[in-house]
């Protein structure tokens, strides 16, 4: 098992895993730091430094064994275990997450959805049960969920976080547009969709500025 891995490397682990799965599907069994770096837009030295920090499976002159490295990263990320999810909020976002089949294939099956709107509860099916939010505490033990997805309005998110924590849920994927307060023994991933658009806008603005500067140089 790996030792300490920096936050920067942890943020790159999903990309490593995704690219290695693609390589395996392409029938590639070995890859060099140079080739992997080109795929991931990282330098070969960064690739070597990252991989050394979480296992160092390569051999000089031979590169990295694709399947072994992929499986090693899979274990580091805990993707070799099952993580049953409940979703709070049966709106468009909540149902989109519940019906996204890739999550289940990755070991994150949705076992139930909860909502306060009884009309949503009437849409419950055997494959995707939707329960009244009032039944949350009563049903969580039988569902054996370890992860909760919050797809609720901002004003409801913190109260729901507190309810989930009180029932033993320590991992929350939060899509509500608010940062949550939570104890140190909980893990929360806040997903602010607008942040990505803001970064995209910034990079577009930077690119436009570079084009304008280049045009001024040509004209001068």
Tokens for 185?
A: 């023994």
Shared-domain flag, residues 97 and 162: yes
Give me the residues paired with residue 131 across strands. Answer: 114
Q: Give the pairing type, strands 85-88 and 147-150.
A: parallel
Name 40's Cβ contacts closer than 8 Å, sequence gap at least 6: 12, 15, 16, 19, 47
Q: Is residue 204 part of a domain?
A: no
pLDDT, one tens digit for every residue, the chain (220 residues): 445 789 999 999 999 999 999 999 999 999 999 999 999 999 999 999 999 998 767 666 678 999 999 999 999 999 999 999 999 999 999 999 999 989 999 999 999 999 999 999 999 999 999 999 999 999 999 999 999 999 999 999 999 999 999 999 999 999 999 999 999 999 999 998 888 889 889 989 988 888 888 877 777 6
The total number of structural domains that make up the chain: 2
Shared-domain flag, residues 47 and 117: no
CATH number for position 149: 3.40.50.720
Place of tokens 């806040």: 190
Let me know how long the chain is.
220
Distances (CA, A) of 116 to 54, 86, 126, 141, 158: 44, 14, 19, 20, 16
CA distance 123 to 130: 7
> pLDDT value at position 123?
92
Q: Pick from 79, 69, 55: which is nearest to 23 by CA?
A: 69
CATH number for position 60: 1.10.10.10
Shared-domain flag, residues 176 and 107: yes
Which domain covers residue 132, as residue numbers?
A: 85-192
Shared-domain flag, residues 89 and 72: no
Shared-domain flag, residues 90 and 187: yes
> pLDDT value at position 208?
86
> pLDDT value at position 71?
95
Report which secondary-structure segment, H or E, holds 148.
Answer: strand 147-150
């Amino acid at each position: 098992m790996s030792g300490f891995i920096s936050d920067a490397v942890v943020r790159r682990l999903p990309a490593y895993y995704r690219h290695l799965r693609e390589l395996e599907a392409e029938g590639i069994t070995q890859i060099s730091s140079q080739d992997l770096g080109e795929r991931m837009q990282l330098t070969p030295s960064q690739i070597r430094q990252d991989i050394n920090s979480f296992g160092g499976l390569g051999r000089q002159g031979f590169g990295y064994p694709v399947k072994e490295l992929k499986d090693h990263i899979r274990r580091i990320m805990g993707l070799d275990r099952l993580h049953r999810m409940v979703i709070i909020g049966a709106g468009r976002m909540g149902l989109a997450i519940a019906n996204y089949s890739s999550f289940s294939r990755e070991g994150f099956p949705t076992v139930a959805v909860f909502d306060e709107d009884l009309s949503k509860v009437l849409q419950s099916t055997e494959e995707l049960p939707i329960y009244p939010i009032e039944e949350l505490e009563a049903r969580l033990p039988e569902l054996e969920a370890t992860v909760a997805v919050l797809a609720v309005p901002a004003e409801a998110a913190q109260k729901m976080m507190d309810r989930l924590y009180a029932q033993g849920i320590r991992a929350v994927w939060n899509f509500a547009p608010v940062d949550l307060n939570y104890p140190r023994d909980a893990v929360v991933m806040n997903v602010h969709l607008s942040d990505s658009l803001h970064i995209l806008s910034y990079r577009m603005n930077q690119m436009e500025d570079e084009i304008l500067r280049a045009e001024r140089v040509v004209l001068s």
